[in-house]
């Protein structure tokens, strides 16, 4: 890891919750509503689905390419999704990935949410596993 990435990651880690496992993103209210509805289709809440997307991102490492294709909603980001109580390695990993891609943890999470709403990865995986 480069020194700049390590410094940014260290700075971001100092902003964690007391237990070191909180990850929050701010998104537009329409994105939040769509993500909540999508999450419910799988019996999840938005935080649970975001945690799953973070774990997936740790394995596949697509954040950089997703950021190039990302089109954020032009309005203010007043709604949030917060993942609590997950293992600190998840939080630490996304901090490093965000820093390596020159973005914040909040923006990295927002990019993953918008990508899932567009791509429907979880829906395809579940359909592939149980309907074929």
Could you please report the per-residue DSSP string of the chain? --HHHHHHHHHHHTTS-TTS--EEEEE-HHHHHHHHHHHHTTT--HHHHHHHHHHHHHHH--HHHHHHH----SS---EEEEE-S--HHHHHHHHHHHHHTTS-HHHHHHHHHHHHHHH-HHHHHHHHHHH-
Q: Tens digits of per-residue pLDDT, 62-109?
A: 999 999 999 888 888 889 999 886 677 888 889 999 999 999 999 999
Say how many Å lie between the first and final Cα of the chain, rounded: 42
Taken as a whole, the chain contains a residue count of 132
Alpha carbon dihedral 54, 74, 16, 65, in 10-degree steps, equals 40
pLDDT on residue 84: 83
Residue 54 tokens, joined: 């973070």
Alpha carbon dihedral 83, 63, 61, 86, in 10-degree steps, equals -10
Q: Tens digits of per-residue pLDDT, 21-49?
A: 788 999 999 999 999 999 999 999 999 99
Grade residue 127 by pLDDT with cuts at 50, 70 and 90: confident
pTM higher than 0.85 for the full model? no
Give 70's Cβ-side CA count (13 Å radius). 21
């Amino acid at each position: 890891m480069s020194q700049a990435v390590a410094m940014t990651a260290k700075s971001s880690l100092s902003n964690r919750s007391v237990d070191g496992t909180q990850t929050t993103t701010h998104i537009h209210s329409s994105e939040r509503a769509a993500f909540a509805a999508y999450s419910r289709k799988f019996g999840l809440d938005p935080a649970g689905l975001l945690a799953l997307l973070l774990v997936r991102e740790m394995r596949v490492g697509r954040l950089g390419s997703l950021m190039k294709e990302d089109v954020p909603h032009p309005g203010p980001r007043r709604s949030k999704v917060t993942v609590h109580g997950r293992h600190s390695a998840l939080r630490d990993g996304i901090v490093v990935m965000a820093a390596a891609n020159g973005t914040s943890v909040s923006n990295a999470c927002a990019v993953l949410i918008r990508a899932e709403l567009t791509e429907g990865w979880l829906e395809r995986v579940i359909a592939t596993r149980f309907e074929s």
